[in-house]
Amino acid sequence: MSLLRESLEEEIDMAKQMVSDLQANQTVDAPFVVKDKSLRTFRNKEGQYLALTIGDRTGEIPARVWDNAEQVASSFKVGEVIQVRGRVEEYQGQSQIIVQRLGPLGPSEYDKGDFVKVSARPLAEMLQQLRENIQEIGEPNLKALCEAVFDDEEILSKFARIPGAKALHHAYVGGLLEHTLNVTEIVKTAARLHPDLNRDLLVAAALLHDLGKIDELTGEMAIDYTDVGNFVGHVVLTDRIVNQKIAELPDFPEQLAALLTHTLLSHHGEREWGAPITPATPEACALHYADNLDARVEGYQTFRQQQADQEGQWARHWMFDRNIYLGSTGLPPDRE
């Protein structure tokens, strides 16, 4: 039997199987979005196999195609939805699907809602909070800059939908806006605890710090980096957009522009983390740690949710390079 899906006449008469529900030795027959694919050489025999990462809004899982790999790989692209039929197996402590048959699906043959994870916060509510934060900025030049950025319909439409990252944190539609608002609330707290901080500069920088991600990231069902995202990265892309908007404003103070762009360029904290320059002001330091705090906490929470069905109290997080505790932290049951 060909691995390519032979016909669309066979319909699945059941609710879609979600990644979060898959267990070892379970038969799989469901649509999944292709997150990644690559042809790899067998270690102990000639030829290649197809390694896939597939997923839905509940998570991701590796999949393997052992036979006719090149033919199968040419039948679909990353970001497309495919029907996968196979079986879940355990390999080195991780679940993976051994594919028996697969093939691409058309847009009318699946429910997009099964694949697109969206922020739990209503979009209208977040946009209103964004506007309120801008109105709180007292320094007229910084306020005018933020208004110029977020009154730009092209920028705002992207900013409201783009994910916060490819995988590590806020990796869902609306994630960038949600992360931005969280960071803004954190720097407000820092400014309250440390009254000598320039609150207006901090709030403006928090609102703008990840703006370049609108050009760095693309996709909803399969988040990926654009070419310019890979070549340049969002920190520099943010600097480009902000300085373009500053140039369009009359008489924006040069010193204020320098302080703001420094705060934005240094928000990753260290050069090895992608910062062109390291923080040299208290405000830049505060933004860096606020950004890192929100990203890390959300990353931990997402990982715990993804590992909810795993046995044991601990699991290794590949990006953080440490074991994460999966047990109760004392929250009420409805908050765990």
Instruction: Give me 125's structure tokens.
Output: 């509510």
CA gap 298, 169 in Å, rounded: 6
247 half-sphere exposure, CB direction, 13 A CA radius: 6
Instruction: Tell me the CA end-to-end span of the chain in Å, nearest whole number.
Output: 45
| pLDDT exceeds 70 at position 239 | yes
**In the beta sheet, which residues pair with residue 91?**
94
CA gap 134, 205 in Å, rounded: 11
Instruction: Give me 313's structure tokens.
Output: 């109290």
For domain 19-114, is the CATH number 3.40.140.10? no
What is the rounded (10 degree) CA torsion for 154, 155, 156, 162? Answer: 110
Q: pLDDT band for 332, please (50, 70, 90 cuts).
A: low
Q: pLDDT band for 335, please (50, 70, 90 cuts).
A: low
Residues whose CB is less than 8 angstroms from the CB of residue 104 and which lie 6 or more positions away in sequence, other chains included? 5, 75, 76, 80, 81, 82, 83
CA gap 71, 76 in Å, rounded: 10
| pLDDT exceeds 60 at position 13 | no
192 half-sphere exposure, CB direction, 13 A CA radius: 6
| pLDDT exceeds 80 at position 40 | yes
What pLDDT is recorded for position 112? Answer: 83
More confident residue, 12 or 232: 232
Q: Give the amino acid at 304.
A: R
For the chain, the helix, strand and coil percentages under 3-state DSSP, each to the nearest 5: 40, 20, 40
Answer yes or no: are the C-beta atoms of 260 and 238 closer than 8 Å: no
Instruction: Give me 324's structure tokens.
Output: 């994460």
CA gap 298, 121 in Å, rounded: 14
Longest dimension (CA), the chain: 71
| pLDDT exceeds 90 at position 244 | yes
What pLDDT is recorded for position 222? Answer: 75
Answer yes or no: are the C-beta atoms of 298 and 169 closer than 8 Å: yes
Q: What is the mean pLDDT of residues 207-218?
A: 95
What pLDDT is recorded for position 301? Answer: 85
CA gap 52, 38 in Å, rounded: 7
Please identify which residue in the block is written with the tokens 């707290």: 189
Q: Where are the domains of the chain?
A: 19-114, 123-301, 311-335
Instruction: Tell which residue, 87, 63, 89, has the closest CA to residue 76.
Output: 63
pLDDT in tens, 41-84: 998 899 999 999 999 888 889 999 999 999 999 999 998 999 99
What pLDDT is recorded for position 221? Answer: 73
What pLDDT is recorded for position 49? Answer: 96
Please identify which residue in the block is written with the tokens 């440390």: 194
| pLDDT exceeds 90 at position 248 | yes
pLDDT in tens, 257-287: 999 999 999 999 999 888 999 999 999 999 9
Q: pLDDT band for 6, please (50, 70, 90 cuts).
A: very low
Q: Give the amino acid at 25.
A: N
Instruction: Give me 295's structure tokens.
Output: 């990203």
Query: Across the chain, what does the average pLDDT equal?
Result: 89
More confident residue, 75 or 11: 75
Q: pLDDT band for 333, please (50, 70, 90 cuts).
A: low
What pLDDT is recorded for position 229? Answer: 92
More confident residue, 214 or 167: 214
Q: pLDDT band for 94, please (50, 70, 90 cuts).
A: confident
Q: What is the mean pLDDT of residues 120-141?
A: 96
What pTM value is reported for the model? 0.76
Determine which helix (DSSP H) or strand (DSSP E) holds 62, and give its type and residue range.
strand 59-65
Instruction: Tell which residue, 301, 239, 241, has the closest CA to residue 268.
Output: 239
pLDDT in tens, 299-327: 888 888 777 767 778 888 877 788 889 88
Q: Give the amino acid at 203.
A: V
For domain 123-301, is the CATH number 2.40.50? no
